[in-house]
Structure 1
């Protein structure tokens, strides 16, 4: 929130997710190179992250219609929009870190892909990084859906706030 009591929240920019993805990639490289043997890769993270992305994307579509008061929808309560915005921000940060971590892990085994076990780790890590990227996109879409549309009589120089 702004320090002047304006009640607005800035949209997630590209800097923080990029930094988190880079830190995650570095952590993935370090962990994968420091453990003896291969790191364990849970294949179940792929469908879990994809389902979360689908749920957030669906919620974003419904939220956008409700915030803009589309015909046939109920207006959204401000507290509900604030909760969805908090979910979107948290998901975006987590997804950035996870995408970087699993991409770094995949990168660490690229030199030994002729071995089946390394190929399996590579494919699972790459799939998980992709699924985390989908979650990041859905989270940013949900955050965008929570924006309050500008009023016609407001000053056009002010950027639109978030719900």
Structure 2
């Protein structure tokens, strides 16, 4: 499985931002207010994935991956990679959505009072999306299998 490419995540975020901006530009008057905590659930996922990354990284470093007591099963690590890949996509899309809102809201703050109130919720959501992407990429990196050490009797190439 290939690592997640940052450029793919950026492309997804840009696409989501453009689509959101177009929709918000048309429908902003009929949308409900954005609460400050609207994107906060992504912080919880980011923290959980960051903790999982440190646990797996520690276990990989101690060669505690495999079957048996006190070890992490390889399937669990593979599932963690799948979680990381999915979370990176969700985080990128969410970041794009919140950035799309911000692109609309920031210029409108002088004319629309609701835009001032909605901006803080969009900023919290955008930062949460970036945090989730960062945690997901860190988890994916920590799940990599270590390189096989060279045979000490064999000369280095």
With normalisation by structure 1, the TM-score equals 0.81
Q: Which residue does 2:48 correspond to in 1?
A: 55
Give the deviation of 1:36 after TM superposition: 4.9
- In structure 2, list runs of 5 or more residues that go unmatched: none
**In structure 2, distance between residues paired with 1:101 and 1:84:** 25
Q: 1:98 aligns with which of 94, 97, 101?
A: 94
Structure 1 stretch 36-45 or stretch 77-86: which is displaced more?
36-45
Query: Of the two, which has the highest radius of gyration?
Result: 2
8 A Cα contact 1:106 1:123, kept in partner = no
**Alpha-carbon displacement from aligned partner over 1:115-158 (angstroms, at most 9, x marks no partner):** 4311121221121011110010000000001001011138x99x
Preserved CA contact (<8 Å) 1:69 1:75: no
Change (3 A) 1:60 1:36: closer
**Paired residue for 2:142?**
145
Aligned ranges for residues 110-125 of structure 1 at < 5 Å?
110-114=106-110, 115-125=112-122
Q: TM-score, normalised by structure 2?
A: 0.84
5+ residue gaps, structure 1: 1-8, 158-163
Q: Distance in 2 between matches of 1:28 and 1:36?
A: 11
CA shift in 2, pair 1:57/1:36, >3 Å: closer
- Give the structure 1 partner of residue 82 of structure 2: 86
- What is the aligned partner in structure 2 of residue 10 from structure 1? 2
How far off its partner does 1:82 sit? 0.8
CA deviation profile, 1:99-124 (whole Å, cap 9, x unmatched): 01111111112222134311121221
Q: Which moved more, 1:73-82 or 1:128-137?
A: 73-82
**Which residue number corresponds to residue 19 of structure 2?**
27
Larger helix percent: 2
Distance, in Å, in 2 between the alignment partners of 1:36 and 1:123 is 16
Could you tell me how far apart the structure 2 residues matched to 1:131 and 1:18 are?
A: 15
Mapped partners of 1:38, 1:121: distance in 2: 13
